[in-house]
Amino acid sequence: MRRMVALLLLSLASVAAGCNKSAPDEATASARAAATVQTEFNVEGMHCASCPVTVKAAAEGVGGVSAVRVSMADAKAWVTYDPARTKPGAIAAAITESGYKATPVAAP
């Protein structure tokens, strides 16, 4: 979301300045998407409907995170992020600091 807002503001600034540069092309957008990875986390301590909201907000607060999905029933979170900007340990630490012990699940 933050990235979309930044691109929108950049585009508006370019138009206001009379610049005719276009937004990043599809190849650039595809390259950015390919640069992201998803890691699954075990999350302990979620017991009510607001718990996943807190976990999601904590993970989204880490720079480089682009998407988060949380399941209280499965005690899991799936986080998509740019590995050049953050690591699973930093995401787990942010979730843990919000009150829920999080550990990345090792890839098979």
Q: Summarize pLDDT for 17-72 with one digit per residue, the tens.
A: 444 444 455 555 555 556 999 999 999 999 999 999 999 999 999 999 999 999 99
CA gap 56, 91 in Å, rounded: 11
Domain ranges (residues) in the chain: 1-34, 36-108
Class of CATH domain 36-108: alpha beta
CA gap 93, 58 in Å, rounded: 9
CA gap 3, 46 in Å, rounded: 29
- pLDDT band per the 50, 70, 90 thresholds, residue 9: very low
Determine phi and psi for 52, rounding to 5 degrees.
Answer: -60, -30
